[in-house]
Amino acid sequence: MMNELDFLATVERLLPTWRDVFSPEDTQSLAAWLQETPRDDSEAVRQTVNRTLDLLQRYPSAKSDLGQASNPEDPREGVRLLYSQLAGGPQGVQAHTRELVCPKDPSHYRRQPMFPGERVFCPVHKVALVDPDSLPSKE
């Protein structure tokens, strides 16, 4: 089974083969995330893994390439394992959770967690994102 660093290395290796599959924006974002993630910063690595898994939800063929890389005998099982181990549980893939916002400034950063209870952080303020309803109303 892949760990997070193996996963990023595999995504890096496969990325050139996805150029025709991904939108140019997504190819660029993914390449930038891979490039900017310090591999010795486990929180940054985890975030990039989560963002990558998020993005791959839109590209089933790229997901099955990864499944193939992770488990050549049974790629579908490979995909399931990737999501359950890296994204924190099989329920995470289907679960649609509410979008969370940065408590310092809800308008500048928002992100939907991969699974209920996932802690998502603002990359600028380094604080955990919160449910927008939990913020004091400004009106």
Report 88-117 residues binding Zn ion (CB under 5 A).
102, 104, 109
**Is residue 56 close enough to count as binding Zn ion by CB under 5 A?**
no
Single residue of 14, 88, 125, 130 touching Zn ion by CB under 5 A: 125
**Is residue 58 close enough to count as binding Zn ion by CB under 5 A?**
no
- Closest C-alpha among 78, 81, 87, 76 to residue 113: 87
Determine whether 80 is exposed, middle or buried from the number of CB atoms within 10 Å of its CB (0-12, 13-18, 19+).
Answer: middle
Give yes or no for a contact between 109 and 123, defined as CB atoms under 8 angstroms apart.
Answer: yes
**Is residue 120 close enough to count as binding Zn ion by CB under 5 A?**
no
**Is residue 46 close enough to count as binding Zn ion by CB under 5 A?**
no
**Is residue 124 close enough to count as binding Zn ion by CB under 5 A?**
yes
DSSP string, 93-111: HH-----EE-SS-TTT-EE
Task: Note the residues at the interface with Zn ion (CB under 5 A).
Answer: 102, 104, 109, 122, 124-125
